[in-house]
Amino acid sequence: MTASLHILVCPACLAVNRIPADKLSDRPVCGKCKKSLFTGRPLELTGLGFRKHLDKTTIPVLVDFWAPWCGPCKMMTPVFQEAASRLEPRIRLLKLNTETDQATAAQFRIQSIPTLCLFQNGREKDRQSGAVDLKRLLAWVSRHIGA
């Protein structure tokens, strides 16, 4: 694969799409279902959909491992949503509810929530636990991928 081509999984139908890097900012749509490949908000996924996004997507993927009963997780929700609007289409943002998808959370050794994990090409680059504000989140991401 050339460096000028990115693979993105559709948030709606999970089809795999190949998009030229210079077209990422042009609001690309899925070749199968014709829905937008970027929604401007984090995608809440579980199981196979989560794994497919993580394994197939060639842009960096930032994951918020969270649970609905967690106070700091609730504080992180608007921060993560704002981060999605600022970081897409350079980064895909996902949320995984550790309460409803305990197997996936265990697979990634999530021991505290919220935990943010940054992935590139399916591999974890870094993680941090605890709620952070938007400025700190954007700085952390920028340090790792230059976004």
Return the SS3 of 138. helix
Active site residue 33: no
Q: Which of 10, 30, 33, 73 is catalytic?
A: 73
Q: Which of 10, 30, 33, 70 is catalytic?
A: 70
| CA 44/CA 141 separation, integer angstroms | 20
Residue 136 φ/ψ region, left for φ over 0, alpha for ψ in the -120 to 50 degree band, beta for the rest = alpha
Q: What is the 3-state secondary structure (H, E, C) of 84-133?
A: HHHHCCCCEEEEEECCCCHHHHHHCCCCCCCEEEEEECCEEEEEEECCCC
Active site residue 117: no
Which residues are designated catalytic?
A: 70, 73
